[in-house]
Each structure stands twice: as structure tokens, then as C-alpha cells.
């Protein structure tokens, strides 16, 4: 859209205020009533989504019926035709004020308690009105809330709200509605939602306003796991000046079960106004490393554009760890390891067989546990003649396991100050190495034989590093990393310990997965992205190859590369529950997607089994599946053993003792090892 264009023969566009995944927001002149308004126009292609257009129209009418001082007024709806495209638009009041996300930018450690409770109480008042009208917002977050210059608060963007009893046909858009950092557990599970989902999101917003961040952070897969299973951090640990009554209310708002949350938004407003306040709230101090906000807009905006992730979109320093009881236990365990082991432990002495009596030896399926959090990623290396799994975990460690013996090797590799999301293995100057990326925005390199970190952390990403891969480029050993939120894919020269060139261009805001391969003699990176695309980049040229590969209906969480009947392929999995195979040279999907009935596909790997190319996927309900890419079908029954209440987040395929194996890591804080030919778990020696 361009300034001066007229929509509906009435609204002349003046200035673009924002842009998001679905469209743009403009200030405009209403030439019929001689007033300034805000217009949100949906520019995403909706040709194949007639139901979505119907839903948008209905929701605009619903929003127009909400007349409350705390809710943005919707004046009009219309459609703009551009050639054969139809773009719905919504006309709203133009607001003068500052959205809560921008307020947070100026208070990276949180706003004063008394101010927060009053602001959120006003939001709760407005939500209570909407809920009594039968309307659920479904995307309450700081970016959708505004403090007005003249006083008061407005809820913006009821553009994805719905009647609580709306029909399925008018609410299904092929994915979850909401923002991952602020979504209620029932939204992740795809269950029907009611007003209590808004109260959970309001609790996440309350947490962000008080501490500078929502209760959970990380990749989409990690966020889903945390919202479904993890306890939120204690408010009074992060904000010692917060009254205990406020902490109690926060815990109720963030309850996993909607039945355990407050009954109504009116109850929340009343509870907030009853919170006792100290005579003077001191400015909160940082917990650990502070979070900084830079380069933010200083001018207020009207209505945030669709597609905003709801968190401060700025460069920030490494996040402080959640000081939960679990984190304290992790710290105690790390202290004990340091006291006993005296720092780095040479692996040579730890790869020796341990002397155990027969009664001490474990039996049954190999389960590698001992973590203090979900296993987010796993890779396999050959080290001193042993097949070793290398895992990255939510407890911030990288751990090694002797797969044949079913035993941990050495002490955990510690250095990251937050969860580890990505792990890959390779060779550097004769060493077997692992590369890890995590929530502290860094990439780290580990000498696996010595059990030590090599060099300083590699810094450059402005948000959590979600994925890493290791390969070769022009004779150099490199790592490639993607990040959740900063839209950058970066290359690292591991020998020099520095970034290689400029970030690869042509990516979406969030890169969830990355793999390295070869295509027509070129070194390439394949990435899976939050916008549902798979993208291919030429590493030497530092740019994207061809158009994004489209087909997934929601975020892509995992990618792997391989070869199928002489073709370079990528395999991807995502939030739409499918596994898809791509011909990289042709730039198109091969065959129909493999449908998975276990929820999100969070992990994929490619390998060979009995001369056939296979893919292995990890998904919800603790399920691992094997797919025959030649016969184009699932091989055998799903591999089960992980808890059926968790997601499988990492999977890899390799060889051990002449057998093709898969190793999977999941939210039950464990690794499992699978004999793919037999379709069953590996067992401990002697079982």
C-alpha cells in the first residue's frame, strides 16, 4: 500500500504505522466525516481461505459491537480490490498513547508494582465487559494493550477474537490463534477456549510488566512444553518488592487447568485493586544480568499489526536464569560437580568401563536420564571407538552418553546461562567437537575428548539461538546458527572463533531449525521458519537460493537434509502435524505429506535402513515414527517409551555396532535409543 491510496472510496491512506505477518496498519483520513482514523488492511493472500475471510468479517462485526471505554472502537469494515485479489480492511479509532510493549522497553526490569496493578486492573475491567458479551480476545499481550495519553487503557486488536460459541467453520484457519509466549495451555492443545484463556494470557502480561519478560521464553517448541508442563518462576524471587498477595494471584492466573484460574476478569480486577502497596515501591534491581532495550520507536502507534510476537522486539543482553527451585537445585548440583571434579574432566579417563557387580547393572530398555529439564536436541558422534550421544538440555548443560553402555560420560558441559536449544557435532583440527546454542544468545564450541569449552562464546545473535549445524565451507569448519526472534542466520569460522561474513539474508523473523548439505556442488543451509516456510541459502554467496518452499500450514520446527534416489532432499516437520519431503534442486514438495496424529512434529532426521532412505520424526505424546521415503509409508508401529504426556524435541539417526539406531530426547527429561530394524528400544548389556 502507498500513501494517497483511497480505500472504499472514502479512506485516504496517510502514513503507515506498522507492518506484520498478515498486513499493515495505517493512519488515514476519513473523507466522509473529516476525521483521522486507523486502518488495518489484511494483505496476506487469502484466495484459498474463504473461511478466513468470513471469520474476519464476523469478528470485525463482533468488535464493532463492543462499546466500552477500555476497548478500541471499530468504525467500519470493507474490502479493497487489487486486481483479482480481495483484501479486507478494518477502520478503527486512531489512538494517541503508548503500547505496553514500548512501556516495557523503557523499564526492562519491570514497571513499579502499583502502576502495574492499576494498568492491568483496567485491562481486566475491559475484558470482563467483552467476556460478558460472549467474546474472547485470544491474543492478550503487551503489544495489544495501550496506555492513552489522556489517561486510561485500551485493548487493541480484537481482530482474532471470537464468539465463545462461534462455529468451527468460521474459526479454523489451519493453526493456533495467539502469540506463543502468551498463549494458554489449552490453546496449544487445540482445545476449545473460553474467557479463562484470556486470563492466562493476562497473567503472562502481568508477569512481563513486573519483571520485563513473560514467564516462559525460548523456541516455539520449548514454549509449548513450558506452558503445558513447567512451573512459572516465583514472582517474589524476581521482584522482591512484590506483595505476596500479588504472587498468589499470579500463580492462579498461570494455572495449567482453567478450572484453577479466577472465575472472571472482574474477580481479577478486584483482586488487583485489593493488593496492599508499600509506601514507596523501590525501582526493581536486575536479577543476574540485566535486560536492556535499544532502538525502540518513541512515537506512540495506533493498533499493533497482526503477526507481532508480543515481546519487546529489541536487542537484549543474556537473559537472567529463572530462579525457580529447579534452578536452585541445578546450581547446587553444578557446585557439587565442581567441588568433586575440580572443573573440566578429561574424557579419556571417563570412557573406561566401570566395574560393577551384576546386581548393580541396569536392565531393560536404555533410558538416559539425570537431567533437570527437557532434552531439546541430540546428536551422535564417534569418540575413542565409542558411539556417544551429545544432548542439549533445558537445564543449560550439554551432556555425553555412551550409548552401548547406557552410561553418562564425564561431567555435564556447563557454560550456557540458559536453556540449550541446539546441538551439532563435527571435527575441528583433529578434535571431535560439539557446537551448542542457547537461550543466552550465544553459540559455544566444546572439545568432547577434553570435556572443555574451546575459546570464548560466539556472540552476535540478539535473541535465543534456536538451532545450530556444523559443516565445511571452502576448507574451513563452520557452524551455522539460527535464532528465535532476530531473523538472522549466521555463519561462524570455528578455527578463528569469529563470525564469517554477514548474516545470511532472506529469512523470516524467527528461524527454528537449520541443517547443512550440498546442492549441485554448492554448500547450502536449509532452514525451517516460524512463518511456515523452508528456505535454502547458498553459504558461499551468502544469499537465499530460489523462493521459499511452502506447504506447511503453520510454523516449521525441524529440518534435515539427505539424498533420495540421487536427489538432494530436505525433510521438514512442523506445527501442522505433518512431515514433508522437498526436492531441493526442483524447489518443490515430493509426494503427499506424511500425516502425524500426535500433534506438532518437533524433530526430524534422515538416514539409511536396509538400503532405503528413511526419515524419523519426533512429535507429541512422546511418539517417534519411522517413514520409508521409497515406499512412501510409515514403517511399523510408532516407537513408544517416552512419557505420553510430553513432546519429543530432538531425534537423530546413526549407526552403532552395525545397526541403524535412532536417539530421541523429550520433555520427560530423558534420552531413549531405538533399534530401527527391530522396531524396539535398545536394552542395557546383559538384559
Answer with the residue of higher pLDDT: 577 or 45. 577
Rg (CA), the chain: 26
| Gap between the terminal Cα atoms of the chain | 68
Instruction: Give the tens place of pLDDT for each residue, 498-553.
Output: 999 999 877 777 899 999 999 999 999 999 998 899 999 999 998 889 999 999 99
Rounded Cα distance between 476 and 474, Å, is: 6
**From the CB of residue 619, how many other CB atoms can be counted at a distance below 10 Å?**
27
List, as one string, the DSSP characters of 158-175.
Answer: GGG-EETT--GGGT--SS
Highest mean pLDDT (candidates 107-116, 276-285, 325-334) = 107-116
Grid coordinates of 127: 475484558
Rounded Cα distance between 161 and 178, Å, is: 10
Assign 231 a pLDDT band (cuts: 50, 70, 90). confident
Phi, psi of 559 (to 5 degrees): -140, 155
Rounded Cα distance between 144 and 167, Å, is: 25
Whether the predicted pLDDT of 278 surpasses 70: no
Question: Which residue in 194, 197, 190, 228 sits closest to 598, CA to CA?
Answer: 190
Instruction: Give the tens place of pLDDT for each residue, 407-439.
Output: 899 999 999 998 999 999 999 999 999 999 999
Question: With contact defined as beta carbons under 8 Å apart, do 89 and 303 qualify?
Answer: no
> What is residue 573's DSSP assignment?
E
Residue 372: what pLDDT? Answer: 74
**CA-CA-CA-CA dihedral for 186, 189, 191, 193, to nearest 10:** 30
Poorest-confidence range of 41-45, 243-247, 450-454, 674-678?
A: 41-45
Give the rounded distance of the alpha carbon of 419 from its chain centre.
12
Question: With contact defined as beta carbons under 8 Å apart, do 606 and 599 qualify?
Answer: no
Q: Which residues are annotated as a binding site for ATP?
A: 40
Rounded Cα distance between 516 and 437, Å, is: 16
Catalytic residue among 139, 157, 402, 654: 139
Question: With contact defined as beta carbons under 8 Å apart, do 139 and 305 qualify?
Answer: no
Please give the average per-residue pLDDT across 651-674, as a whole number: 93
Poorest-confidence range of 90-104, 305-319, 443-457?
A: 305-319
Q: Which residue has the cell 513450558?
A: 226
Whether the predicted pLDDT of 563 surpasses 80: yes
Q: Which residue has the cell 459491537?
A: 65
List, as one string, the DSSP characters of 623-678.
Answer: -EEEEETTTTEE-SSPB--S-TTS-EEEEEEEEETTEEEEEEEETTS-EEEEETTT
**What 3-state DSSP class applies to 397?**
strand
Rounded Cα distance between 136 and 66, Å, is: 12
Please give the average per-residue pLDDT across 400-409, as a whole number: 92
Whether the predicted pLDDT of 44 surpasses 70: no
Grid coordinates of 503: 548474516
β pairing state of 442-447 and 452-453: antiparallel
Residue 177: what pLDDT? Answer: 53
Grid coordinates of 201: 494470557
Question: Which residue in 584, 565, 555, 580 sits closest to 630, CA to CA?
Answer: 565
By CB atoms closer than 10 A (0-12, 13-18, 19+), residue 41 is buried
Q: Which residues are annotated as a binding site?
A: 40
Residue 152: what pLDDT? Answer: 92
Answer with the residue of higher pLDDT: 687 or 437. 437
β pairing state of 367-368 and 135-136: unpaired
Residue 17: what pLDDT? Answer: 85
> What is residue 365's DSSP assignment?
B
Phi, psi of 16 (to 5 degrees): -75, 125
Question: With contact defined as beta carbons under 8 Å apart, do 344 and 447 qualify?
Answer: no
By CB atoms closer than 10 A (0-12, 13-18, 19+), residue 521 is exposed
Q: Which helix (H) or strand (E) holds 246?
A: helix 244-253
Rounded Cα distance between 127 and 140, Å, is: 10
Per DSSP (E only), the strands in 415-456 are 420-428, 431-438, 442-447, 452-453
Answer with the residue of higher pLDDT: 416 or 189. 416
Instruction: Give the tens place of pLDDT for each residue, 90-134.
Output: 898 898 889 999 999 889 899 999 999 999 999 999 999 999 988
Domains in the chain: ranges and CATH: 5-93 (3.30.200.20), 97-162+180-274 (1.10.510.10), 332-339+362-681 (2.130.10.10)
Assign 471 a pLDDT band (cuts: 50, 70, 90). very high
Poorest-confidence range of 40-44, 183-187, 389-393, 630-634?
A: 40-44
Instruction: Give the tens place of pLDDT for each residue, 252-267.
Output: 999 999 999 999 999 9
Assign 168 a pLDDT band (cuts: 50, 70, 90). very low
Rounded percentage of the chain residues whose pLDDT exceeds 70: 81
The three-state (H, E, C) secondary structure of 252-283, written as one string = HHCCCCHHHCCCCHHHHHHHHHCCCCCCCCCC
Helix axes 195-211, 265-273, angle to 10 degrees: 30
Rounded Cα distance between 63 and 146, Å, is: 17
Catalytic residue list contains 486: no
Assign 286 a pLDDT band (cuts: 50, 70, 90). very low
Grid coordinates of 112: 513499579
Residue 15: what pLDDT? Answer: 92
Give the rounded distance of the alpha carbon of 193 from its chain centre.
21
Rounded Cα distance between 226 and 243, Å, is: 25
Residue 192: what pLDDT? Answer: 85
By CB atoms closer than 10 A (0-12, 13-18, 19+), residue 64 is middle
Amino acid at each position: 500500500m502507498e500513501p494517497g491510496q483511497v480505500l472504499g472510496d472514502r479512506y485516504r491512506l496517510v502514513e503507515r504505522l506498522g507492518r506484520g505477518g498478515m498486513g499493515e496498519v495505517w493512519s488515514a483520513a476519513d473523507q466522509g466525516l473529516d476525521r483521522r482514523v486507523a486502518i488495518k488492511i489484511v494483505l496476506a493472500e487469502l484466495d484459498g481461505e474463504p473461511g478466513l475471510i468470513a471469520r474476519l468479517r464476523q469478528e470485525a462485526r463482533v468488535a464493532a459491537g463492543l462499546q466500552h471505554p477500555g476497548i478500541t472502537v471499530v468504525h467500519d469494515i470493507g474490502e479493497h480490490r487489487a486486481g483479482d485479489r480481495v483484501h479486507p480492511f478494518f477502520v478503527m479509532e486512531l489512538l494517541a498513547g503508548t503500547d505496553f510493549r514500548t512501556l516495557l522497553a523503557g523499564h526492562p526490569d519491570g514497571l513499579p508494582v502499583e502502576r502495574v496493578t492499576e494498568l492491568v486492573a483496567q485491562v481486566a475491567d475491559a475484558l470482563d465487559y467483552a467476556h460478558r458479551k460472549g467474546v474472547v480476545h485470544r491474543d492478550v499481550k503487551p503489544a495489544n494493550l495501550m496506555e492513552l495519553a489522556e489517561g486510561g487503557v485500551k485493548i487493541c486488536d480484537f481482530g482474532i477474537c471470537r464468539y465463545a460459541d462461534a462455529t468451527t467453520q468460521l474459526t479454523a484457519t489451519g493453526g493456533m490463534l495467539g502469540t506463543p509466549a502468551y498463549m494458554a495451555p489449552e490453546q496449544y492443545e487445540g482445545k476449545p477456549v473460553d474467557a479463562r484463556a484470556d486470563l492466562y494470557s493476562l497473567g503472562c502480561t502481568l508477569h512481563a510488566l513486573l519483571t520485563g519478560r513473560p514467564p516462559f521464553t525460548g523456541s516455539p517448541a520449548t514454549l509449548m512444553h513450558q506452558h503445558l508442563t513447567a512451573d512459572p518462576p516465583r514472582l517474589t524471587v524476581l521482584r522482591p518488592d512484590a506483595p505476596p498477595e500479588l504472587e498468589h494471584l499470579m500463580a492462579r492466573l498461570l494455572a495449567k487447568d482453567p478450572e484453577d484460574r479466577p472465575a472472571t476478569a472482574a474477580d481479577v480486577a478486584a483482586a488487583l485493586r485489593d493488593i496492599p502497596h508499600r509506601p514507596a515501591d523501590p525501582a526493581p534491581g536486575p536479577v543476574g544480568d540485566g535486560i536492556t532495550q535499544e532502538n525502540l520507536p518513541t512515537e506512540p502507534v495506533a493498533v499493533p499489526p497482526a503477526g507481532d510476537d508480543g515481546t519487546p522486539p529489541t536487542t537484549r543482553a543474556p537473559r537472567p536464569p529463572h530462579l525457580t527451585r529447579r534452578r536452585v537445585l541445578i546450581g547446587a548440583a553444578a557446585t557439587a560437580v565442581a567441588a568433586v571434579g575440580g572443573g573440566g574432566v578429561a574424557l579419556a579417563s571417563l570412557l573406561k568401563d566401570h566395574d560393577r557387580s551384576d546386581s548393580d547393572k541396569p536392565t531393560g530398555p536404555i533410558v538416559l536420564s539425570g537431567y533437570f529439564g527437557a532434552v531439546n536436541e541430540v546428536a551422535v558422534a564417534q569418540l575413542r571407538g565409542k558411539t556417544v550421544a551429545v544432548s542439549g538440555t533445558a537445564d543449560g548443560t550439554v551432556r555425553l552418553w555412551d550409548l552401548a553402555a547406557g552410561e553418562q560420560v564425564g561431567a555435564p558441559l556447563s557454560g550456557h546461562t540458559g536453556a540449550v536449544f541446539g546441538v551439532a557435532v563435527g571435527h575441528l583440527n583433529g578434535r571431535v567437537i560439539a557446537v551448542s546454542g542457547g537461550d543466552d544468545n550465544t553459540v559455544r564450541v566444546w572439545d568432547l575428548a577434553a570435556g572443555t569449552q574451546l575459546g570464548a562464546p560466539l556472540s552476535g545473535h540478539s535473541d535465543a539461538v534456536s538451532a545450530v549445524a556444523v559443516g565445511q565451507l571452502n576448507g574451513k569448519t563452520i557452524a551455522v546458527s539460527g535464532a528465535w526472534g532476530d531473523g538472522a542466520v549466521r555463519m561462524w569460522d570455528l578455527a578463528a572463533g569469529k563470525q564469517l561474513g554477514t548474516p545470511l539474508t532472506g529469512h523470516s523473523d524467527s528461524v527454528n531449525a537449520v541443517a547443512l548439505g550440498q546442492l549441485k556442488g554448492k554448500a547450502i543451509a536449509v532452514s525451517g521458519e516460524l512463518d511456515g516456510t523452508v528456505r535454502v541459502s547458498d553459504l558461499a554467496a551468502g544469499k537465499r537460493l530460489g523462493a521459499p518452499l511452502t506447504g506447511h500450514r503453520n510454523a516449521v520446527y525441524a529440518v534435515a537434509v539427505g539424498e533420495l534416489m540421487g536427489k538432494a532432499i530436505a525433510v521438514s516437520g512442523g506445527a501442522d502435524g505433518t512431515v514433508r519431503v522437498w526436492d531441493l534442486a526442483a524447489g518443490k514438495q515430493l509426494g503427499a505429506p506424511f500425516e502425524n496424529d500426535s500433534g506438532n512434529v518437533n524433530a526430524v532426521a534422515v538416514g539409511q535402513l536396509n538400503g532405503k532412505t528413511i526419515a524419523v520424526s519426533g512429535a507429541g505424546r512422546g511418539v517417534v515414527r519411522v517413514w520409508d521415503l521409497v515406499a512412501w509409508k510409515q514403517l511399523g508401529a510408532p516407537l513408544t517409551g517416552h512419557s505420553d504426556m510430553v513432546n519429543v524435541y530432538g531425534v537423530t539417526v546413526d549407526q552403532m555396532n552395525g545397526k541403524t539406531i535412532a536417539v530421541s530426547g523429550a520433555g520427560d527429561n530423558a534420552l531413549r535409543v531405538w533399534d530401527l530394524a527391530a522396531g524396539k528400544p535398545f536394552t542395557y548389556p546383559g538384559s
